Structures are given as structure tokens and as C-alpha cells.
Structure 1
Amino acid sequence: MLLAIDAGNTNIVFALVDPGVDGQGATILTRWRIATDARRTADEYAVWLHQLLMLEGYGMTDVDAVIIATVVPRALHNLKVLASKYFKVDALVAGEGKAGWGIALDVVEPQSVGADRVVNAIAAHSKAEGDLLVVDFGTATTFDVVDYAGAYKGGIIAPGLNLSLEALVSAAAKLPRIAIEAPESTSVIGRTTEEQMRIGVFWGYVAMMEGLAQKLRSQIGRPVKIIATGGLAVLFDEHTDLFDIIAPDLTIEGLAMIYARSLRN
């Protein structure tokens, strides 16, 4: 089985994947999430994963391949050591060697594009035809344009919702911490401080997403399908008609596709 690792700025997701036959019919069997800490050693990862694998009825020997996508360069070394020391395999790194992208990065600085964004583009192109817009809710909220041929064309980086809320609370001494959730009322006139914050954070974010998506659609000039991924995609999908497809595991699916392609290289 394949261990797919998506190392983001806030969390690292480890997913155990049955890659199927020649990349067809890949199945995510289980997934785990841990806070990103570039100082965490391969030994610490191994102890944590060993216990979680056992709880799901698996063992370390069930993993015979590892692929990593990371936007945290300092975390890569220990993740590669994890693969070699505990799973006895050389990890594939998305975008490198046999795990190269296989799509065009039609931007000014292709080397600076986050690995997760390219992986998402690969997976999105397999899900829908035509021009696509991928919205990923992470530490940052990213909007990525993928054309009808599967090329990555660029996009937008906006502050993530958690990051925006943290900045607001940290900078204003009297504002309380609130949960990220939809306001109970449809009114946008808040009667308490908490209501006003929730309206501003939630509906302000919906307005930002819809506004940027409309500008991107106008510039692309062709019909566009919008695919949402990340932890908040499901929450926002309940309150906007913006998204055509919700794909919470888009990055892991893309990693499985890159792994399958690497077997043919």
C-alpha cells in the first residue's frame, strides 16, 4: 500500500492508500493529521504512525511505497528518513524525478508554485473537463486556474480564514475568540460583538470567494467548473452555490495519481 504525505504549513496529512491497478480505482483507506513541526524527527513520526496503523488493523510492513508533497522544505528530510528507516523504501517527492509533474506550469516562476497546488491541479483535471478553478482552504486560501488541457495557469493567494480570525483577535484586545461557523441568523446586522464578528468573518469570506471567482471567470472568458477542497469546503458549500464539486481529499488523490504514473516512468 501507498503512504501519501501532504505536508502543509499548519498540518501534515498521512493517508494510507490502496493505489489500485495501474493507478485506476485508488482508494483512500484511512487518513491521519498531525500539527506541522519541522523539528519533529523521523522516530517521532514512526512511533505515532505505528500506533495509528495498529488501531486501523494495519502494520508498518503493509506500506511498500511513500510519496510526499510538501510546502515546508525543512520537514522534508525527516519525512524521507521516516520512509527509508521505518518503511524500507525511498520516498518519492512530488515534482522530482519519476514523480515529476507531467503538466505544464504556465507561470512566470514555476519553481515557486506550491507542491500542493500543482498536485491539486493534476487531480482536478482528472475529475472534470474544461477550464477549472480549484479553491483550497488551508493556512492560505488559494484559487488555482487549470485550463482545458490540464495546464496550471496561476491564481490567487488570500489569507486563510483561521489566519484572518487569529489576526483579528490578536490585534484587538477586547475581541473574544469565536468558533468558525455560519451565523445562526440570516441577518447581517449583528446585535452582539460575537454576532458581528461571526457575520464579518463568515459572510465576508463568502463575499470574497464569490467576488474573486467572478473576476477569474470573467478573465478566463470560458465556462469554468469550480472544485473546492480543504477542511472548510463542506461548511461553505452549505451557504453558497459557488462550488460544482467538493473534493476533501483532492491532494491525496493527486499524490496517488503521481505515484501510479511514476511506476510507468
Structure 2
Amino acid sequence: MLLAVDAGNTNVVFALLAEDGSIAARWRIATDPRRTADEYAVWLHQLLSLEGYARGDVTGVIIGTVVPRALHNLQVLAHKYFGQEAMVAGQGAAGWGIRLDVDEPHNVGADRVLNAIAGHAAYPGDLVVIDFGTATTFDVVDYDGAYKGGIIAPGINLSLDALVAAAAKLPRIAIEAPTDPTVIGRTTASQMLSGIYWGYVAMIEGLLARVKAEIGRPVTCIATGGLATLFQQHHLFDAVEPDLTIRGLALLHQRSRKPA
């Protein structure tokens, strides 16, 4: 089985995939570059056991990360506890295999390229992938699979944290879809929720309209990331794919094993 590791700015997601590409189990832990391979191993071994798996079931490891300091300990984890030399997304045999048609290709985050790879494999034509993570990113992939660029905006939780930190009297609220359809809040908390939630709906609608106008062809919009389902009811996206980044890692691993 393949252990795919997606190390993001907020969480590290571990997914165990069967030979047919189906995700057998997934777990997440808060990202901490100081976390050692031994700490990961203790945590992960218990979770594997709870799902009925053993370390020996893992026959391959691939890592994608936007946190460079986290990479070494994850590689040690793969070598020391699973007996595998981890592939690293974008490097060596796990090279991207797609054209990064931007001015600074070396600065494109691994998660964004992985989303582009998985999105193009699943949906034909031009794509926009919106990832609701620490940042909210919009990534444009053209019909032949090339990454064309995108947009980076503050993530929902990041925006809320900044608001609460900067305004002494504002309370911390949970991010959720408002139950009242009106945008005019009657309490401080409802006004904050309206600003965050409906503000993001308006941002998505506005940016998508501008992106589609620039592309000038039919576009499929895919959403991913933990908070994507919050906005699904507004029919902003053609599909919601929670495991898009993991799917991209699995595709890279599969391609790297094919004979040249």
C-alpha cells in the first residue's frame, strides 16, 4: 500500500492507498517542523493498528510539502519505520511531468501543482481549482494540463484570526454557513459571520467571473480543502474533491513507477 503524505502549513495529512488507488484510511496532525520521526511513528503506528494495518503493509511512501523544514523528519520516518526511501513530489523520479507556464515556476507550491495534476487527470478542458487551506488559492490549468498561474488570498481562518487579534472586543466565532439568509447581522457575532462567510462567497463569485472572462473558454471549477463544503450549497463549483492533493501524490507515484 502507498502512504501519501501532504504536509501543509496547518496540517500534515497521511493517507493510506490501496493498489487500485482507493483511500483506505487518512489521518491528520498539526504541522510542526520540530516534530521528530519518532514522534510521527508512535502516533501513526497506533492509528494504523486501529484501522487493522501494520507497518509492513506500506510498500511505498511519497511526500508533498510546502513546509521545507518538515521534509527531513518525514523522510526519516519513511526510512526508519517503513523501510522505504520516500519519493518527494517534484523531485527526481517524482518530477511534475507538467509544464509550469509561469514566471517563477520554482516558487509554485507543491500542493498547487498536485491539485493541477489530479484535476487535469479527472476533468477534461480548462480548469480552475480553488483550495480552501491556510490560504485560499485559485489555480488555472489549461486544456493540455499546463499550470498557468492563479490567485492567492488569505484563508478563511487566517482572516478571522487576524480580525479577532486586532479588535479587542470582537469574540472568536466558529466558521459555519449562516442559518439566516440575510446579510445584515443583528449581533456582533452574526455580523462577523456575515462578513466572513458572505464576504468569501462574494470573493469567489467575483474572482471566478474575472478568471473565466480572461480564459475565454468553458471552464470547470473544482473545489478542495477542508472548508470547501461550506460553500457547496451556493453552486459555485462544478465539483468538490476533498482528496485532490492526495490524488495528485498517488498519480505522481504511479507515473514514477512506469518504465521510461
Tell me the TM-score normalised to structure 1 length. 0.97
Counterpart code for 1:70: T
Q: Percent identity, aligned pairs only?
A: 70
For residue 135 of structure 1, report the CA deviation from its aligned partner: 0.2
Q: Structure 2 matches for 1:8-157, cutoff 5 A?
A: 8-20=8-20, 26-157=21-152
Contact 1:106 1:153 in 2 (8 A): yes
Q: Secondary structure at the match of 2:23?
A: strand
2:186 is aligned with 1:191? yes
Q: Secondary structure at the match of 1:122?
A: helix
Query: d(CA) in 2 for partners of 1:30 and 1:157?
Result: 30
For residue 72 of structure 1, report the CA deviation from its aligned partner: 0.1
Indicate which of 230, 242, 246 corresponds to 1:252: 246
For residue 204 of structure 1, report the CA deviation from its aligned partner: 0.4
For residue 242 of structure 1, report the CA deviation from its aligned partner: 1.2
Query: d(CA) in 2 for partners of 1:189 and 1:119?
Result: 39
Query: d(CA) in 2 for partners of 1:55 and 1:236?
Result: 33
Counterpart code for 1:106: D
Query: d(CA) in 1 for partners of 2:223 and 2:230?
Result: 11
Indicate which of 227, 234, 239 corresponds to 2:229: 234
For residue 151 of structure 1, report the CA deviation from its aligned partner: 0.3
Q: Secondary structure at the match of 2:186?
A: coil
Query: d(CA) in 1 for partners of 2:223 and 2:106?
Result: 24
Q: Secondary structure at the match of 2:159?
A: helix
Report the number of matched residues.
259
Deviations 1:2-40 (A, max 9, x none): 0000000000000001132xxxxx100010000000000
Counterpart code for 1:98: A
Contact 1:19 1:256 in 2 (8 A): no
Q: Secondary structure at the match of 2:229?
A: helix
Counterpart code for 1:165: L
Q: Which runs of 4+ in 1 moved over 4 A?
A: none
Counterpart code for 1:243: F
Query: d(CA) in 1 for partners of 2:235 and 2:180?
Result: 19
For residue 158 of structure 1, report the CA deviation from its aligned partner: 0.3
Q: CA RMSD in A?
A: 0.6
For residue 188 of structure 1, report the CA deviation from its aligned partner: 1.1
Tell me the TM-score normalised to structure 2 length. 0.99
Aligned partner of 1:208 in structure 2 is 203
For residue 62 of structure 1, report the CA deviation from its aligned partner: 0.6
Aligned partner of 1:225 in structure 2 is 220
Counterpart code for 1:242: L
Counterpart code for 2:223: A
For residue 150 of structure 1, report the CA deviation from its aligned partner: 0.3
Query: d(CA) in 1 for partners of 2:229 and 2:97?
Result: 30
Q: What are structure 1's unaligned runs of at least 5 residues?
A: 21-25
Q: Secondary structure at the match of 2:160?
A: helix
